[in-house]
Amino acid sequence: MRPLRTAIFPVAGLGTRFLPATKAQPKEMLTVIDKPLIQFAVEEAVSAGITRLIFVIGRTKRSIADHFDANPELDMLLRSKGKDKMADYLRAIVPPSCCCIYFRQAEALGLGHAVACAAPVIDADEPFAVLLADDLMDGTVPVLAQMAQQFESSGRSMLAVKEVAPSETGSYGIVDADLPPEGELSRVRGMVEKPAEGSAPSNLAVVGRYILDGRIMDMLKDQAPGSGGEVLLTDAISKLIDGPGVDAYRFKGHRYDCGSKIGFIEATMAHALAHPEYGAQTRSMMRALLDAEKSK
Ligand code: UTP
C-alpha cells in the first residue's frame, strides 16, 4: 500500500437543502466569514500531507476551479496597492507541491458515483481520502491529519465517526462498532445507510471524512444504484468491511453540517466568535441582539 497522498473532493451535489443560494453556485463555495467551504477542506487535506487534489465537479461548479487557479491580474493589482500579504496568501492556497485534477460528474447520481468518476487516476494499491466540504471540521489538529497519522500505522480504510442522538440516525450512515475513546480506532463490523430510530446498530454516525482503499474503485464500477436511485458509497464500503477491513475513528474536534442552513448558521457564529479581528465585536453584537429579543 502506498502512502496517503491523494484526496477526492466530490462537489457535484445539487445542494437542494440550501436553495435558493445553490441555484447557480455550488454549496461548497458558500463562505464562512470570508473563506469558501471548499478552501477549508483543501487546507485540511494539505495539512495531512495530501499533494494530489481531485475535484469532482458538476454543472454549476466552474467557480471552484477558478478559485484554485492563479489570478495574475488580481495578484498584480493587490501588489500595486501594497497588499502583498493578501497576494501571498492567495497564492499559497494551493501550495506549489500540490496539483489539482478535475473530473466532471455529468449527472448527480450519488456520492458513490461521484467518487468513482476519479477512478481513472486511482491505482488499486493507492489509498485516497474523501472530504465532503459541506462538513466543516474544526480540530486543534486538523481532522484529516489525525486520521492520516492513524492510517500510517493501521494501513486500513477509515471512517470518521461521531455520536448522534437516536432520533438522528435516519440522516446518516451508521456503523456497527464498539465506541472507542476519542482518538482511537475500532474495527467496523457493518454499516447501514440512514437506519430509522430504533433499528440502528449503534449511535456512531459517519461524517464527511474517509480514507479508502484504492480497491474500492473496482467495487464501485459495477455497483447498481441503491435506495433513492443513487449509487451509494456506503454499499461499496460494506464490501471493504467484508474484505480488507475498515476502522471507525472518533475524531477530536467539532463538525458543522454546512449542507444544512442551521449547521451553516452554527459554523458562522462559532467562527465569528473565535475570529481574531471580529470576535469581540461579534460577542457584543450577539448580546445586544439577545437583549433586544428578551425585551420584545
Ligand atoms: P449531499 O448528500 O449533501 O447531497 O452530498 P447534495 O445533493 O450535495 O445536497 P442536498 O442533500 O440536495 O442538499 C454529500 C456530498 O457529496 C457530493 C456533494 O457535493 C456533497 O459534497 N455529491 C453528492 C456529489 O458530488 N455528487 C452526487 O451525485 C451527490
Which pLDDT does position 155 carry in this prediction? 95
The residues pairing with 36 across neighbouring beta strands, listed in sequence order, are 31
Asked whether the predicted pLDDT for residue 99 surpasses 80, the reply is yes
State which ligand 1 atom lies nearest to the alpha carbon of 58.
25
pLDDT of residue 290: 95
Cβ–ligand 1 contact at 12 (below 6 Å): yes
Amino acid at position 195, single letter? P
Averaged over 70-79, what is the pLDDT?
95
pLDDT of 184 reads 83
| Banded model confidence at residue 222, pLDDT cuts 50, 70, 90 | confident
Q: What is the CA radius of gyration of the chain?
A: 20
**CA 281 – ligand 1 centroid, Å:** 35
> 142: Cβ below 6 Å to ligand 1?
no
pLDDT at 111: 95
Query: What grid cell was written down for 259?
Result: 449542507
DSSP of 111-180, one letter per residue?
HHHHHHTTGGG--TT--EEEE-TTEEEE-SS-HHHHHHHHHHHH-SEEEEEEE--GGGGGGSEEEE---P
For ligand 1, mutation pick of 27, 111, 137 (most atoms within 8 Å of CB): 111
134 lines ligand 1 (CB under 6 A): yes
Closest CA to 12 of 33, 32, 28, 30: 28
Ligand 1 atom closest to Cα of residue 108: 28
Quick check: CB of 30 below 6 Å from ligand 1? Answer: no
> Which candidate, 17, 49, 3, 1, places its Cα nearest to that of 263?
17
CA of 13 to the centre of ligand 1 (A): 3
Residue matched to cell numbers 491529519: 145
Point out the ligand 1 atom lying closest to the alpha carbon of residue 132: 21
* 241 touches ligand 1 (CB under 6 Å): no
Within 10 A of 275 (CB to CB), how many other CB atoms are there? Answer: 14
Shortest-distance Cα residue to atom 4 of ligand 1? 13
Domain 6-259 class, CATH top level = alpha beta
* pLDDT value of position 296: 81
pLDDT at 154: 94
Residue 59, pLDDT score = 79
For residue 245, what pLDDT is reported? 96
Query: Which residue's CA is the closest to the ligand 1 atom numbered 1?
Result: 13
| Upstream peptide bond of 166 is cis (omega within 30 degrees of 0) | no
Residue 56 CA, closest ligand 1 atom number = 25
CA distance 237 to 57: 22
Pocket lining: 57 vs ligand 1, CB cutoff 6 Å: no
- pLDDT of amino acid 179: 79
Mind listing the pLDDT tens digit for each residue in 22-64? 998 899 999 999 999 999 999 999 999 999 999 999 877 688 9
For the chain, the average pLDDT equals 94
Residue 179 CA to ligand 1 center (angstroms) comes to: 27
Q: Is 21 in the pocket of ligand 1 (CB under 6 A)?
A: no
Global pTM exceeds 0.85 = yes
pLDDT of residue 223: 87
Q: What percent of the chain has pLDDT over 70?
A: 100
Closest C-alpha to ligand 1, atom 16: 111
Place 144 in a pLDDT band, splitting at 50, 70 and 90: very high
Rounded average pLDDT over 175-196: 89
Where in the chain are the domains? 6-259, 260-296
> For 83, which DSSP code?
-
DSSP 288: H
pLDDT tens figures, 178-188: 877 777 899 99
Chain Cα centroid distance, residue 248: 16
Ligand 1 atom at minimum distance from 22 CA:
13
Q: Whose CA is nearest to atom 15 of ligand 1?
A: 132
Q: Give me the pLDDT at residue 162, please.
A: 95
Ramachandran sector of residue 178 (left: φ over 0; alpha: ψ -120 to 50; beta: rest): beta
Residues 6+ apart with CB under 8 A from 4: 48, 49, 50, 127, 128, 129, 148, 151, 152, 211
